[in-house]
Chain A
Amino acid sequence: MANTIIGTSITIDGEITGTDPVIVQGTVKGRIALEDNVYIDESGVVEADIQTPSVEISGQFTGDVTASERVELKPEARMSGNIRSPRILIADGANFKGHIDMDV
């Protein structure tokens, strides 16, 4: 239960680094660099560059993602940016605009 949860009313402007999974329900601007997964919930708004093993997006995301394992866009996801990951899942209903690079 050492997860990091960014609540709906929280705004972070800066850099998030660490070893714990991060769940974003609020707003993050800047950079996220983790050794664990990032979950962007439906209410989450992220304008950042993300570097993690895995990313799951249900909310709104603007920026570049570099994931060493996988990137998943849920049906509610709206994403604008580039994805660079060996495995990419995009669900029906997800909104995506950008480049995909699976050659990692």
Chain B
Amino acid sequence: MADIVTQIGEGTRIAGHVAGEEDLSVLGAIEGSVSLTEVLYVEPSGRVEATVEARGAVIAGSVQGSLQLSESLVVDPGGQVKATVQTTTAIISGTVVGDVVARERLEITAEGRLLGDVSTARLIMADGATLKGRVAMAGLEDEPMPEGARAEATEARSSRSRATSSRASSRASSRRSSSYSRATPSIARPSARPTTASTSPVTATAPAASAVTSAPARPATSAPARPAPTPRPSAPSPAPSLARATAPRGATTTTTVVVEEPAPEPEPSQAAASGLLDPEEFADLGWNKGRSYLKSEDLNLEYSNLNEMIAAYTAHVSSLKA
């Protein structure tokens, strides 16, 4: 029957099972189940809450339940489907909430919205279409599979794809992290090199300086050299880590360094407590860097004895005051 004969009027509600071999147009409501060999039309006013089996369905109204269609599903704009759908082809211009298996083809038009997992061979999405859910695109090789097996297969496939996707993402993340880790040392290494280079000359000068430590004039000569450590505090973050990193290296070259390395930390406080080195005193002289340069490594190397160093400084300060 080509033309629609059977229709459920807008004011009519059917509760139960509807079966037939012709098109069925629903303007009213059907609750229960529908099985047709032809096409189910759910008009804008129509409402179907049922398990539907049919050749096709054209939905402009609302459908809840399940749709098993041997051929095609068309959801018109305004159509609302809340159902699990199994069909061969589907064109969605309305809203579908539920998993959709379209064996051959699934098209979501610009107005179409689909919220659910999709399994299909061909997926066509127009600009503006909305899709939220997993998508499994199957080849047509499993076309001859029976309905149930196919559903299971798609389920298995989707779970497998889920697994592979998670694996892929973890792989991606690990790749990302490895690239990060690869990137970070490359950043760290070049910065490490120049500083080790800068510290190594210091260590190289250290023996010479320690030889001069006894001479009180030494700080005066080292005074112009003092600005050299000042750029170090300007880049504070690499300095401590590098100092730490270079410390073992220094340890291998000179044993004295290791012994004195922890010493400078308490030094200033000790000095401040003793009143020998008042930071304000240095501030008055424009030696704001006094503290920092007291801490600096080269001083550790230059002055093996703390008292010696303090004496040298006080002498120097007093000479400057005078």
User: Which residues in A have some Cβ–Cβ distance to B below 8 Å?
Assistant: 2-22, 25-26, 30, 34-36
Whether the Cβ atoms of B15 and A14 lie closer than 8 Å is yes
Q: How far is the CA of A16 from the CA of B22 in the complex (A)?
A: 19
B295 at the interface (CB under 8 A from A): no
Q: How far is the CA of A2 from the CA of B20 in the complex (A)?
A: 20
Q: How far is the CB of A15 from chain B (nearest CB, A)?
A: 5
Interface flags for B15-38 (1: CB within 8 Å of A; 0: not) read: 111111110100110001000000
Whether the Cβ atoms of A4 and B8 lie closer than 8 Å is yes
Q: Which of B1-59 contact A (CB under 8 A)?
A: 1, 5-22, 24, 27-28, 32
Whether the Cβ atoms of B11 and A2 lie closer than 8 Å is yes
Whether the Cβ atoms of B16 and A12 lie closer than 8 Å is yes
Whether the Cβ atoms of B27 and A12 lie closer than 8 Å is no
Whether the Cβ atoms of B17 and A14 lie closer than 8 Å is yes
Interface flags for B187-198 (1: CB within 8 Å of A; 0: not) read: 000000000000
Interface of B is mostly: strand
A-B contact pairs, 12 of them (CB 8 A): A4-B8, A7-B1, A8-B22, A10-B6, A10-B19, A11-B18, A11-B20, A12-B16, A15-B14, A16-B13, A17-B12, A26-B6
Q: How far is the CA of A17 from the CA of B32 in the complex (A)?
A: 14
> Per a CB cutoff under 8 Å, which of B14, B22, B24 touches A14?
B14
| Number of CB contacts from chain A to chain B under 8 A | 84
Give chain A residues whose Cβ lies under 8 Å from the Cβ of B18.
10-14
Add 19 more A-B contacts to A12-B14, A35-B11 (CB < 8 A).
A2-B10, A2-B11, A2-B27, A3-B9, A4-B7, A5-B5, A7-B1, A7-B20, A9-B22, A10-B18, A10-B19, A11-B17, A13-B17, A14-B16, A18-B28, A19-B12, A22-B9, A25-B5, A30-B16
Whether the Cβ atoms of A20 and B11 lie closer than 8 Å is yes
Whether the Cβ atoms of B1 and A16 lie closer than 8 Å is no
Q: How far is the CA of A13 from the CA of B20 in the complex (A)?
A: 11
Q: How far is the CA of A25 from the CA of B7 in the complex (A)?
A: 11
Give chain B residues whose Cβ lies under 8 Å from the Cβ of A26.
6, 20
Give chain A residues whose Cβ lies under 8 Å from the Cβ of B8.
4
Whether the Cβ atoms of B1 and A15 lie closer than 8 Å is no
Q: Which A-B residue pairs are the 3 nearest by beta carbons?
A: A14-B16, A20-B9, A7-B6
Whether the Cβ atoms of B10 and A10 lie closer than 8 Å is no
Q: Which residue of A lies closest to B27 (CB)?
A: A2
Q: How far is the CB of B190 from chain A (nearest CB, A)?
A: 81
Q: Which residue of A lies closest to B21 (CB)?
A: A9
Give chain B residues whose Cβ lies under 8 Å from the Cβ of A30.
16
Q: How far is the CB of B31 from chain A (nearest CB, A)?
A: 8
Whether the Cβ atoms of A20 and B17 lie closer than 8 Å is no
Whether the Cβ atoms of A18 and B16 lie closer than 8 Å is no
Q: How far is the CB of B14 from chain A (nearest CB, A)?
A: 5
Query: With A2-B27, A14-B32 in contact, do A20 and B10 touch (Cβ < 8 Å)?
Result: yes
Give chain B residues whose Cβ lies under 8 Å from the Cβ of A22.
9, 12
Q: How far is the CA of A21 from the CA of B16 in the complex (A)?
A: 19
Give chain A residues whose Cβ lies under 8 Å from the Cβ of B16.
12-15, 30
Q: Which residue of A lies closest to B20 (CB)?
A: A10
Q: Which residue of A lies closest to B38 (CB)?
A: A9
Give chain A residues whose Cβ lies under 8 Å from the Cβ of B13.
16-18
